[in-house]
Structure 1
Amino acid sequence: MTRRPRALIALVAAIAALAAALLPTGLLAHDGRYAESGELLNALQVWSIDAPGLAIVIVVGGLYAWGYYRLRRDSPNFHFPRWHAWSFAAGWLVMLLGLMSPVDTYSDDLFWMHMIQHVMITMIVAPLMLLGAPATLALRAASPRVRTTYLVPILNSRLVRALTWPPSAIVIYIASVWSWHWPDAYDAAIASEAVHFVEHGVFLLGAVLLWWLVIGVDATKLRPHHVWRCALLVVAILQNIGLGLILINVGEPVYDTYATAAAVREWGPDALLDQRIGAGIMWVPGSMMFALAIIVTVYYWAEREGFKDRRNDTVRDMQIRVHGEVPTLGPRPGEQ
């Protein structure tokens, strides 16, 4: 086994061991009972856990590490840059921070902290995970039977094609964001661990569909033109700004859970200010991530077009060297 796969597998094992060690202690809780003070030292000491989410992170991370090991062992000549693996590992580490750090514990009490958690999932975890090229890794690491029986048919299925059609992907992403910010749905997610888990899953799924089309790292058919990618990102920015402006300009708290929490606690901002801070986090950092993606997309678009121009110039130069001039199409037989 090479050193890199060992490192990835060791990282997954260390995460599992840490979770097992902390589960019996009082450090891990998600009911907000430790969120009694807004002092920085206390805040940094309060960690929580999302057991289903942690289990999924460990399982998926382990599968990726196993696939990476198999790829290095069975196809050492296949070009799969190491930065793919480290991007995926970084994305899963951010996911763990979002599910276990004080961000999660205080998300029950502060809307703006919950918004940070959502930004981490949709703007950081999803793109980093997809930069890991998981589909390419799965196709190369799987056995021929699994690849031909399951993976290829799934990736080429009508359902996947429908979900990854650019208009469908952006509609699903917008629906996932706006529906879960509806007051009743948002309050339900705070009140129920099961609903909260579903909320995070929907956010991640919607973000993955969008970023998969934008990033286009995996060697699949899901590679829209750069115009489509920029259009998707512009629409994502506009909906982000729209929802953020609504939450900033509304004259009263829209989420009963956070209004109640603000009335009970003796620290932190009031409910309306808390809501406006969270909306600002959605608006500014979220939109900045999309704007950065637009810049990168335009850059690679320009690079691609420049490569085409250089290739055409090279062909023209070769034609001049061989023929003395650029060949032109003469009239067809019978035409003058």
Structure 2
Amino acid sequence: MYARAVGVTPRAFGLWWLLGLALAGALTWWLRAGNSASVAFVFVCSVENVPPPEFPDVLFTLALEPLPVYLLLSAAAAYVLMWLRVRGSGRDRLFPAWRLASFLVGIGLVILTVFGPLAAYDRVFLFVHMIQHFILISIAPPLILLGSPMTLLLVAAGARRRERWIYPVTHARWFELFTNPVVGLGLFAAVPILWYITPLFELSLENDVVHYAGYAVFLFAGIHYWWPVVGGNPTRWNLPHPVRLFYLFALVPIHAFLGSLFYEPSRVLYEQFARQPRLWGPAPLLDQQIGGAIMFLVGEALGLIATIAAAAAWARADEREAKRQDARRARERERAQAAG
């Protein structure tokens, strides 16, 4: 199995990738032309041809966009090939199977969130949109980063490619400044807040380009935010444990503000949701309040869990340091006794 993975040449991989890209483009055109398909009990269509929301059909409707799905699957395939190559070179301990599983689950969660049943009705129910954005910025990014994709790329690339292509970017001053955790925290707060209080969100309900660009920006902001606190990827910004606690606790007020933004108003904030016909599901105002409650309660829970986990890691680090100090003092006493 490893030999087959190592034997895939860049030329062969590129040709197969281009063929898959062409097929994804053709399928996109076919779906965008108003066609749809049923596979077993799953209904596949484009976002423009989603049927009215009826339960339980909403659970099995996929608003598929083949091109971005193909790009995400390509990233997963590239990760698998690099993982097999590195494992085949005898570096099993660096990349255990759980890292592969975490990365693939993260990518799968992104695909399911952006193109699955949630995506089919995120222009009908606001609470569905909230679940999507919460997953893309707070849940999928840590899973992807636990796969250590950057470290895997550095190892699989080899010394020559690292020096020629990767290090000039990662060691650049602008890259160091952009990856500063302060920037990540700012993006994590600013992206969702600006998305909902400016006309961007309402524009995304009518414009597919803005709609999918919003998904990408949320995922990017999440990866940027979680990078310094999820181990396994190279970074110049190693946060001390007290700073890490503060960094993670920032999840709580950010989600509290977003939750109150939608839960407290007594009117529907976005007219598009009020105009949408609903054969099933909550009324527009209740829908909005559910979205706010999800953002508040789940966000608060995630922030507290992350903070507790960071505090536990801090305690374990202090315990390890205490053991090292005890061992050092024990060695010094033994040397002193031997000298005496």
- Provide TM-score, normalisation by structure 1: 0.85
2:204 is the counterpart of 1:186: no
**Change over 3 Å in CA distance of 1:5–1:222 after alignment to 2:** farther
Contact 1:108 1:114 in 2 (8 A): yes
Q: Does 1:110 align with 2:125?
A: yes
Shift in alpha-carbon separation, 1:290–1:296, aligned structure 2, 3 A: same
Query: Can you give the 5+ residue segments of structure 2 that lack an aligned partner in the other structure?
Result: 7-12, 38-42
Q: Deviations over 1:196-222 (max 9, x none)?
A: 111011101111111001213214323
**Aligned residues between the structures:** 317
| Contact kept? 2:83, 2:152, Cα under 8 Å | yes
Q: Distance in 2 between matches of 1:227 and 1:105?
A: 42
Contact 1:126 1:204 (8 Å CA) reproduced? yes
1:326–1:252 Cα change, 3 Å: farther
Equivalent in 272, 290, 298 of residue 285 of structure 1:
298
**Which residue number in structure 2 is paired with residue 174 of structure 1?**
189
Paired position in structure 2 for 1:330 = none
Structure-1 separation of matches of 2:338 and 2:321: 21
1:60-112 Cα distance to aligned partner (Å, 9 max, x none): 11211121122122343662222111100110111121122211101110000
Q: Structure 1 76/310 Cα, relative in aligned 2: closer, same or farther at 3 Å?
A: closer
1:169/1:209 contact within 8 Å kept: yes
Partner of 1:39: 55
More deviation, 47-56/304-313:
47-56
Equivalent position of 1:274 in the other structure: 287
Match of 1:303 among 304, 316, 319: 316
* Contact 2:181 2:237 (C-alpha < 8 Å) held by counterparts: no
Residues 2 and 85 of structure 2 are in contact (CA less than 8 Å); yes or no, is this contact kept in structure 1?
Answer: no
Structure 1 gap segments, 5+ residues each:
328-336
CA contact (8 A) 2:36 2:45 kept: no
Specify which of 221, 229, 243 is matched with residue 206 of structure 1: 221
2:332 aligned residue: 319
**In structure 1, what residue type is equivalent to 2:79?**
Y
Q: Which segment is superposed worse, 87-96 or 152-161?
A: 152-161
1:119 is matched with which residue?
134
CA contact (8 A) 1:50 1:99 kept: no
* C-alpha spacing 1:230/1:123, structure 2 compared with 1 (3 Å): same
State the match for 2:10 in structure 1: none
Note if contact 2:145-2:230 (Cα within 8 Å) is conserved in structure 1: yes
SS at match of 1:191: coil
1:116-149, CA deviations, whole angstroms, 9 ceiling, x for partnerless residues? 1112211221110000001100000013332112
TM-score w.r.t. the length of structure 2 is 0.85
Structure 1 residues 136, 326: CA separation in 2 closer, same or farther (over 3 Å shift)?
Answer: farther
User: 2:258, 2:321 → 1: CA distance?
Assistant: 40
How far 1:113 moved relative to its partner? Answer: 0.8
Q: CA contact under 8 A between 1:226 and 1:297: conserved in structure 2?
A: yes
What is residue 331 of structure 1 aligned with on the other side? Answer: none
Closer/same/farther in 2, CA of residues 234 and 5 from structure 1, 3 Å limit = farther
Asked whether the 8 Å contact 2:99–2:148 carries over to 1, the reply is yes
Q: Match for 1:201: what amino acid?
A: A
Which residue identity is paired with 1:320?
Answer: R
Q: Which whole-Å CA distance do the structure 2 matches of 1:45 and 1:219 have between them?
A: 40
Structure 1 residue 253, shift from structure 2 partner? 1.2
Q: Is contact 1:244–1:283 with CA below 8 Å preserved after alignment?
A: yes
Aligned-pair CA distance for 1:228 = 2.1
Alignment identity in percent? 25
Distance across 2 between alignment mates of 1:154 and 1:73:
28
